[in-house]
């Protein structure tokens, strides 16, 4: 009788162990999936930020008014911080639109856009025609488990979106 | 003396059960092997996706810069896997001005689990795309 009980207890323990191990494997797999989604979104946001900043710089390169804009930026009369800045120079908007377009093409959205003077122009020999574009973008991580939670409760949380900033220089 | 004698004796029922447990363990080992291979397969696929994304990024960066436009893809990205990959570039005129260039890379998956589809047409193939604006030359 005692021996039979021991056998049954042993079977129960091994079943519990098996069940625990199965849950562990399942949780590990789901966790690995979340980690992959997080790192993939980080890489995508970095690419989108770099591409958006480059697009702004390319737009400035094609804009004949960019030289005058660089002088305005050096004099700190503007930072092209749109849409907050109401009296920004006309050359700011096309650069921002170009950044937004390219960010969207890479599955991201521009959350902050700034233009500024080149660091060389803060030295003893400032010159016109050099601008630095700084763009911050956001990409939704699309986490397999937390997607619904992110959409409803925490749309801008760091866990739900990947944010990246990049700069590009023109001139 | 009596105790040690009892310990040494193993009944046929207990022996039979031990045999069954050994059989279960032996039968479970291939299953364990399959699970481990599946995990490795998943890791390989994730690595391929990361590599495809990095390649697409690198390729499009070179393609939009005036001086590097005509470089062959495998040399540009420094990834030998690109030689067997499908690389496409598409150019689209932006209505607001400029041209958007998109590099798409499809890498054939590394197959560890037998029976899974291989080649760039496989649904497991790593696909990645990156878009940048062409610089005015």
What does pLDDT average to over chain B? 82
The arithmetic mean of pLDDT across residues B52-72, rounded, is 85
Closest residue, chain A, to B38 (C-alpha): A29
Average pLDDT of chain A?
Answer: 84
- Contact assignment for A94 to B97 by CB distance below 8 Å: yes
**Token pair for residue B79?**
């990834």
Tell whether B4 is covered by a domain.
Answer: no
- In this prediction, residues A111-140 reach a mean pLDDT of 86
The predicted complex's ipTM stands at 0.73
Supply the pLDDT for residue B7: 53
Number of domains into which chain A is organized = 1
Whole-Å CA distances, B50 to A48, B47, B59, B128: 15, 5, 14, 9
* Residue A135: band (very low, low, confident or very high) from pLDDT cuts 50, 70, 90: very high
Residue B121 lies in a domain: yes
Q: Within 13 A of B44's CA, how many CA atoms are on the CB side?
A: 15
Return the pLDDT at A4.
Answer: 60
DSSP label at residue A138: E
In a domain, B2, yes or no: no
Quick check: B100 contacting A, CB < 8 Å? Answer: yes
Question: Cα A18 to the chain's mean position, in Å?
Answer: 41
Check B102 against A105: CB less than 8 A apart: yes
Ramachandran category for residue B64: left, alpha or beta (phi over 0 → left; psi -120 to 50 → alpha): alpha
Checking if the pLDDT of A82 tops 60, the result is: yes
Domain encompassing residue A7: 2-170
User: Residue B1: pLDDT above 70?
Assistant: no
Radius of gyration of chain B (CA): 28
Question: For residues A116 and A71, what is the distance between their CA atoms, to the nearest angstrom?
Answer: 10
Question: How far does the CA of residue A97 sit from the closest CA of chain B (Å)?
Answer: 8
Residue B135 is predicted with a pLDDT of 85
Contact A58 B98 (CB under 8 A): yes
What is the C-alpha end-to-end distance of chain B, expressed in Å?
Answer: 98
Q: Domain range for residue B23?
A: 12-133
Q: What is the percent of chain A where pLDDT is above 70?
A: 91
Please count the structural domains in chain B. Answer: 1
- Pull the structure tokens for residue B20: 């069954």
- Nearest-Cα distance to chain B for A125, in Å, is 27
Closest Cα in chain B, distance from residue A81 (Å): 20
């Amino acid at each position: 009788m005692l021996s039979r009980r021991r056998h049954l207890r042993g079977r129960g323990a091994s079943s519990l162990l098996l069940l625990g191990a199965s849950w562990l494997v399942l949780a590990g797999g789901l966790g690995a999936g979340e980690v992959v989604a997080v790192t993939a979104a980080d890489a995508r946001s970095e690419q989108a930020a770099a591409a958006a900043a480059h697009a702004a710089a390319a737009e400035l390169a094609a804009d004949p008014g960019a030289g005058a804009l660089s002088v305005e930026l050096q004099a700190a009369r503007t930072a092209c911080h749109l849409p907050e800045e109401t009296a920004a120079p006309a050359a700011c908007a096309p650069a921002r639109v170009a950044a937004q377009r390219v960010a969207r093409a890479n599955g991201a959205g521009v959350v902050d856009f700034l233009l500024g003077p080149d660091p060389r122009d803060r030295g003893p020999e400032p010159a016109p025609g050099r601008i630095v574009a700084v763009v911050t973008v956001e990409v939704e991580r699309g986490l397999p488990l937390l997607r619904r939670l992110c959409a409803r409760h925490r749309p801008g949380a760091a866990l739900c979106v990947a944010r990246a900033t990049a700069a590009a220089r023109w001139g | 003396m009596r105790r040690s004698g009892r310990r040494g004796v193993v009944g046929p029922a207990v022996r039979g059960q031990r045999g069954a447990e050994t059989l279960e363990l032996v039968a479970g080992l291939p299953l364990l092997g399959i699970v481990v291979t599946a995990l490795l397969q998943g890791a390989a696929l994730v690595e391929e996706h990361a590599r495809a994304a990095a390649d697409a990024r690198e390729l499009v960066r070179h393609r939009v810069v005036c001086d590097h436009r005509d470089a062959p893809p495998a040399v540009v990205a420094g990834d030998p896997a690109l030689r067997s990959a499908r690389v496409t570039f598409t150019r689209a005129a932006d209505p607001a001005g400029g041209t958007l260039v998109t590099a798409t890379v499809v890498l054939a998956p590394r197959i560890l689990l037998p029976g899974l589809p291989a080649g760039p047409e496989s649904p497991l193939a790593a696909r990645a795309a990156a878009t940048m604006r062409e610089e005015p030359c």
